[in-house]
Amino acid sequence: MKKFTFMVMVAATLLFAVTPLFAEGVMLGIKGGLNIANVTGGDDEVDTSSKMGLVAGGFLCYNINEIFALQPELLFSMKGWKVMVEEGEGVAEMTAKLNYIEIPLLLKVNLPTEGKIDPSLYAGPGFGILLSAKASTGGGGGEYGFNEDIKMDGIASLDIGMIAGAGLAYQMESGALSFEARYEVGLTSLAKDEDADTGKKASMLNSVISIMVGYGFAF
């Protein structure tokens, strides 16, 4: 797993470094916004709900031609979910907080217009490297509440997902102001270990809607 993570990081670094040699235009920018995160799969009898989190980072957009572009990104992304659990003699809401460094590698399709507003569509894989994973209830470690680190116990250190989204860019004199919405669904289970009874990992996948605003500087 460590070797695979290293290979992903090396590949992303090479893409950032080499692609400008082949691109007709380059845009470097920052973006940030809101994640609405949850999980899919797993135990059908467990009803999870979404949690809010932040997403922020940088991107490079390499225009291959007027229509197609490559856009690698480097983001800090907060994911997770909420679920009701038994606590003491009652129930409490538990929140799982997963923080990732994420590397999306996106193919972007620009839809040119005659005005200053350009729509676009994009899709591609995203590679998430887990930084931290904690589970807590409102009690936060009181008489019945808890606040536990679950990174080493059961959450996989690498998350691979597929991303699809759409955006609008408002062209300005020195760059472009962008607005975008995307959806990412996990392709690999969050479970670190196989179930002792079934011999398989639980089918528990990240599911995230992201709404972001960004600004890119053209070179």
Q: 3-class SS at 98? A: strand
Find the helix or strand (DSSP H, E) in which 41 lies: strand 25-41
- Contact (Cβ atoms closer than 8 angstroms) between residue 206 and residue 37: yes
Condensed to tens digits (0 to 9), the pLDDT of residues 178-200 reads: 999 999 999 999 988 766 556 56
Condensed to tens digits (0 to 9), the pLDDT of residues 57-74 reads: 999 999 999 899 999 999
Which CATH number fits the domain that encloses residue 131? Answer: 2.40.160.20
The structural domain count of the chain equals 1
The pTM (predicted TM-score) of the whole model is: 0.83
Residue 15 pLDDT: 53
Which residue segment(s) compose the domain that 194 sits in? 2-218
With bands split at pLDDT 50, 70 and 90, how would you rate the model's confidence at 80?
Answer: very high
pLDDT at residue 142 greater than cutoff 80: no
Amino acid at 175: G
Residue 183 pLDDT: 98
Least confident of 92-96, 137-141, 207-211: 137-141
Please give the Cα distance from 165 to 197 (Å, whole number): 38
